[in-house]
Amino acid sequence: MTLPEGQAENVDILLALRWKPLGEAGPHVLPLAYGSTTGQIHEAACTFLLSEVTQRTFGENATFHSDALTTLGIDHEAAQRLRSPLQAIAADLAGTTGIAEIWTSLNAVVASETDRLLPRRRNPAHTARLENLRARLHASASRIVPGRIAGEPQAVDRAVAT
């Protein structure tokens, strides 16, 4: 399902049973997660960046923010120190900086606060996550709707279920 721009004006949140449809719902839906990050360093790094964007856009962290920090071996104080560099990466992502350069920057930022080994090779699934996030940042001039899983405990006034 795709949520057209006009419909985004009338929706507070988009609900789905799984994360994947939210990522495919169009540039006006910003999923609050890509999926669980437990044990997956690159997935955790992407979630950490997503969390910065969701914090700025909706005032809340991405769903698996705490899991990402645990996987990355980053405590909350270190996460706060990384907010400014993550904001710079998000700004680059909203611009025209190449995905490879953004990926390198994200790995360097994460590596500055963790002892965990970050693989040097880019994973196409994770660079696709950055491309997906870029599309949402480019659409930010219009209304962005949070995408959630139906079982999350947050209250919803109006929702569209997929």
Sequence ranges of the domains in the chain: 5-161
Residue 7 CB coordination number (10 Å): 15
User: CB within 8 A of 87, min separation 6: which ones?
Assistant: 52, 56
Give residue 160's pLDDT.
44
Distance between CA atoms of 159 and 30, rounded to whole angstroms? 14
Distance between CA atoms of 42 and 11, rounded to whole angstroms? 32
By DSSP bridging, strand 29-31 and strand 13-16 are unpaired
pLDDT category of residue 83 using cuts at 50, 70 and 90: very high
pTM, two decimals, is 0.85
Instruction: Please write the tens of the pLDDT for every residue from 16-53.
Output: 888 788 878 888 889 998 877 677 888 899 999 999 99
